[in-house]
Amino acid sequence: MHVDGDDLVKTLSHVPILKNNDGLLSFSYPYIYYFFAAKKIAEGYQTKVEVKQAFNKLLAGFHREDYSNILVFITHHSKEKWVTDEINSVLSKLFENHKESRLTNEQLSFMDDFLSQIPQLILETKGIQEARDERNKQLDKNDRVKKDDSIDSDEVPSDILVSINKTFKGMEISGQILKNRHATLEKSILLSLAEHGTSTGLRFLDYFISISDSTKGEIINVVLSLLKESNDISNSELEDHAKKAYYHLVYSVINAVVRKISSSVGSREAYEIYVELEKKSDSPAITLIKQAIDLQFNRNVDFIELERTNYKLRNNPICQHILKEIIVQHVYMFPTDYKEKQKLENLFGIPVKRQRQFDSNKKGKG
């Protein structure tokens, strides 16, 4: 059967799948390009040297949005283990000189005095819809930043910034494959992806904690110099404010990285993989991540699981506080009835404030 090339281009441009700019053809939607580029690589990887070189280029630069998307599509076109093995190999080299952060009391001992300065968490100090709107605004902002980033930029940031970027993008790639291929890939492959994605994030966290602890004095001095602009505060008060600011910064990053790992690697469809991952580890960090995945993706509050997590973290104040923040965020984002909030107050000591007033206001607006 003969196919007229000009007619085909006209048809595809009319749909529109292709764009024709003065004879230069391109795909109208980036994901069509990603799909076919991935198909070409999946089919030619084993036999064509130039295709293998193109794949290696993707691995070297998967912190780029286009490269990472093509890698995910390759796993759609090929069930061969080489795809995930190569991705895992790159992930294992990121922050390879660091061990996975376990968030044990020993590692976090330099923050012992910080907990007393953290205010008590309160459920429902703002409305669910308000919290959701704030989250959606942040997601929209992140999307705009991604779209504004030029994928053709030849600028190469410092090695450490590239490694950090690759770490977060690598976790997302692992998570996307887990979400999209959970029904077709072997369980051992899925578990390996979850392990490597999580491990990469935790090695970065160990790097951050190590430099935070070793440069504690310098960071506090920087904060102190900024605070000295006020003449009404004594030197001891200034130093106290500087230390609080330092510890708040460190705690906030630890909390954010745990949540980032959970949201990037986690999925509802592959939840049993994270259960298996926790069984293989006694790390408080893995326990926190698995609980965050449960709340974010399964959405229902499993009190038996929460009690088990709370018990495992009972002697780890920092991890327990992060757990409470994860729970509060869940209540903000997903419908939770008043009885469940009372259970959370009894289990974790998180006060339920203004709940009856909140419910009344919500009904009045409806």
Domain segments of the chain as ranges: 1-78, 99-365
Quote the CA–CA distance of 189 and 142 in Å, as a whole number: 30
The SS3 assignment for 318 reads helix
* Confidence (pLDDT) at 353: 63
pLDDT of residue 244: 79
This prediction's pTM: 0.81
| CB-based burial label for 183 (10 Å; 0-12, 13-18, 19+) | exposed
Q: How far apart are the C-alpha atoms of 123 and 345, rounded to whole Å?
A: 9
Confidence of residue 146 (pLDDT cuts 50, 70, 90): very low
Helix 187-214, helix 284-293: angle, nearest 10: 120
- Better pLDDT: 117 or 282: 282
Structural contact between residues 18 and 26, judged by C-beta atoms closer than 8 angstroms: yes
**Residue whose pair of structure tokens reads 């704030």 in the numeric block:** 134
Q: How do residues 308-327 score in pLDDT, each as one tens digit? A: 999 999 999 999 999 999 99
Which residues are paired to 352 by β-bridges?
123
Q: Pick from 146, 117, 80: which is nearest to 246 by CA?
A: 117
pLDDT digits (tens, 9 = 90+) for 169-214: 999 999 999 998 888 888 999 999 999 999 999 999 999 999 888 8
Angle subtended by helix axes 187-214 and 216-227, to nearest 10: 60
pLDDT score of 239: 76
Question: Given a cut of 50, is residue 253 above it in pLDDT?
Answer: yes
Per-residue pLDDT for 109 more than 80? Answer: yes
* Residue range 26-60, pLDDT digits in tens: 888 999 999 999 999 999 998 999 999 999 999 99
